[in-house]
């Protein structure tokens, strides 16, 4: 079973599809049981949807600012 930390650390890859099938299943299982991570992944998805061209048009500095913002919310405690 994955920990919340692992989910959060890998969330970027989960959403861009660079994880293995096995890993995605493990994540799915975790999300079924953990509402904290569900909420986190949902927010991350919403953010990525809100800025669909972020990775294409934004500068590296802008991307890192967004990612830094996301990381600052990575304080799941349980
Ligand atoms: Zn969790």
13's tokens:
């890859």
The pLDDT assigned to 37 comes to 93
| Distance from the alpha carbon of residue 55 to the mean position of ligand 1, in angstroms | 27
The pLDDT assigned to 30 comes to 94
| Distance from the alpha carbon of residue 76 to the mean position of ligand 1, in angstroms | 8
Model confidence over 6-28: pLDDT tens digits?
988 888 787 777 778 888 889 89
| Domain range list for the chain | 4-72
Q: Are the C-beta atoms of residues 38 and 45 closer than 8 Å to each other? A: no
Model confidence over 23-73: pLDDT tens digits?
888 989 999 999 999 999 888 888 877 765 555 566 677 777 777 877 776
* Residue 76, pLDDT above cutoff 60: no
| Distance from the alpha carbon of residue 64 to the mean position of ligand 1, in angstroms | 24
């Amino acid at each position: 079973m994955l920990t919340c930390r692992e989910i959060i650390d890998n969330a970027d890859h989960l959403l861009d599809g660079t994880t293995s099938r096995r890993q995605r299943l493990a994540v799915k299982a975790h999300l079924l049981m953990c509402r904290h991570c569900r909420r986190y992944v949902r927010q991350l998805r919403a953010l990525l949807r809100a800025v669909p061209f972020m990775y294409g048009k934004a500068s590296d500095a802008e991307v890192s600012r967004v990612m830094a913002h996301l990381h600052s919310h990575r304080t799941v405690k349980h």
